[in-house]
Amino acid sequence: MTAKAIAVDDQLMRILVLGGTVFLGRAVARQALAAGHDVTCAARGSSGEPIDGVRFVKVDRDDPDGLSGIDGEYDAMVDVARRPSHVRPAVGALAGRAGHVTFVSTGSVYSDISTPGQRVETAPIMEPAPPDFDDPAQDPDAYGRCKVTCEQLVTDAFGEDHVFLCRPGLIVGPEDPTGRFDYWVRRAARGGEILVPGTPDDLVQLVDVRDVAGWIIAAAEARLTGTYDAVSPPITRQEFMDALVEDGSTTTYVPQELLLEHEIEPWSGPRSLPLWLPLPEYAGFMSRDVTPSLEVGLQPRPLADTARDTAAALRDDTPSLGLTEAEETEILDAWHARSPKT
Ligand SMILES: NC(=O)c1ccc[n+]([C@@H]2O[C@H](COP(=O)([O-])OP(=O)(O)OC[C@H]3O[C@@H](n4cnc5c(N)ncnc54)[C@H](OP(=O)(O)O)[C@@H]3O)[C@@H](O)[C@H]2O)c1
């Protein structure tokens, strides 16, 4: 799909957010309200509370008629859905009633995860989900394939001239329910010798939730259409750690071979090192060339700002994942035994 920005229109808008009770959806609603727009959020209300000041419509998209409570027309709509069965009835109910549509997709739609430096316009994407795929958790590829189907459903219903397909990479920042970035914020705050996976030159790529939300609102205001990655340019693992670590702490880089030997999980979960992916298998995942997105308005903030604000917003109810102190000590000891400190 070719990208196309229609003339900037700074009038206040009626915006419909399908979602809006958690993380990115809440951030979109919060920033739209702050910009003076009239915001309606539609969800069940089970993931969290909508932001004060939005109109909240309780809907259940598991019911094919579940969106019947949404009335009226909207200048812009934002959908964060993951299931084709949620998107199909929504586009049926809302086609023709929203002037601009942002569908929040994902970088997991890309099929080549090992080639570094890929760009949106040439990177291959997965096949759409087969008809019996609807649960993003049913298979390792199901999430990406379901999103490919959702992208197609939205584009077919509203037309390329109305649709912004926004493909975030790893989203971090305040209110992140996953706890992945929180691990590093907490670990940096604890100080001491910090185990870091891989090498200082490995790439890490992420984006602050507020930068994605702000870009989605700006895109709706500007009637931006087309398909873009929503993630900051990659940084090195050392730059990542420098943004988090306080004076007096040290970082010890442990090669991935030793991590794998000790059955440390990548990315997320118990006994994992969050945001670490084995190389070269996943070298394409956190190394995307996002020049096209920066050219049309994505404005990533410095990671140190994200780290500071995430630290200030940490909650006790986010999942506890990553290494325990004992597990980290076990790996550091094993590494030092093999490669004595100089
Ligand atoms: N986190 C990342 O690192 C990452 C990376 C790439 C892409 N993404 C994408 O970014 C988006 C994140 O969205 P998000 O942070 O707002 O979280 P989310 O967990 O995707 O939010 C889903 C929203 O849909 C609503 N919902 C779920 N089931 C529903 C149902 N049956 N009926 C009505 N509403 C329902 C939820 O509200 P209720 O439960 O209250 O109904 C919630 O507001 C997603 O599209 C995700 O795929 C995320």
- Closest residue by Cα to residue 40 from 22, 26, 57, 60: 57
pLDDT at 14: 97
For residue 227, which phi and psi values (nearest 5 degrees)?
-120, 130
Mean pLDDT of all residues in 209-216 = 98
- Ligand 1 mean position to 16 CA, how many Å? 14
pLDDT band at 84 (very low <50, low <70, confident <90, very high): very high
Ligand 1 contact via 20 beta carbon (within 6 Å): yes
pLDDT at 8 over 80: no
Q: Is 2 left (phi over 0), alpha (psi -120 to 50) or beta?
A: beta
**Ligand 1 in reach of 276 Cβ (< 6 A):** no
pLDDT score recorded for residue 138: 83
Mean pLDDT calculated for residue range 146-164: 97
Does ligand 1 lie within 6 Å of residue 22's CB atom? yes
Whole-prediction pTM value? Answer: 0.95
Average pLDDT in the chain: 94
Q: At 17, phi and psi to the nearest 5? A: -110, 115
pLDDT in tens, 247-299: 899 999 999 999 999 999 999 999 999 999 999 999 999 999 999 999 999 99
Most ligand 1 atoms within 8 A of CB, residue of 47, 172, 232 to mutate: 47
Give the tens place of pLDDT for each residue, 156-207: 999 999 999 999 999 999 999 999 999 999 999 999 999 999 999 999 999 9
Question: 80 in ligand 1 pocket by Cβ < 6 Å?
Answer: yes
Q: How far is CA 292 from CA 21, 22, 176, 224, in A?
A: 30, 28, 26, 13
For residues 85-112, average pLDDT: 97
Beta strands in 90-204 (DSSP E): 98-104, 163-168, 170-172, 193-197, 203-204
The pLDDT score that the predictor gives to residue 139 is: 84
Asked if the model's pLDDT at residue 90 lies above 70, the reply is yes
Domains along the chain with CATH numbers: 4-169+205-230 (3.40.50.720), 180-203+235-285+302-332 (no CATH)
Whole-angstrom distance, CA of residue 251 vs CA of residue 10: 47
Average pLDDT value for residue range 145-163 = 97
Whether residue 2 has its Cβ less than 6 Å from ligand 1: no
Q: Which amino acid is at 76?
A: A
Given a cut of 50, whether residue 5 has pLDDT beyond it is no
Kindly list the distances between the CA atom of residue 91 and the CA atoms of 83, 152, 156, 158, 190, in Å, as whole numbers in the listed order.
13, 11, 9, 8, 47
- Choice from 17, 21, 145 to test ligand 1 binding pocket (greatest atom count within 8 A of CB): 21
At 137, the pLDDT band (50, 70, 90 cuts) reads: confident
Mean pLDDT of 216-233: 98
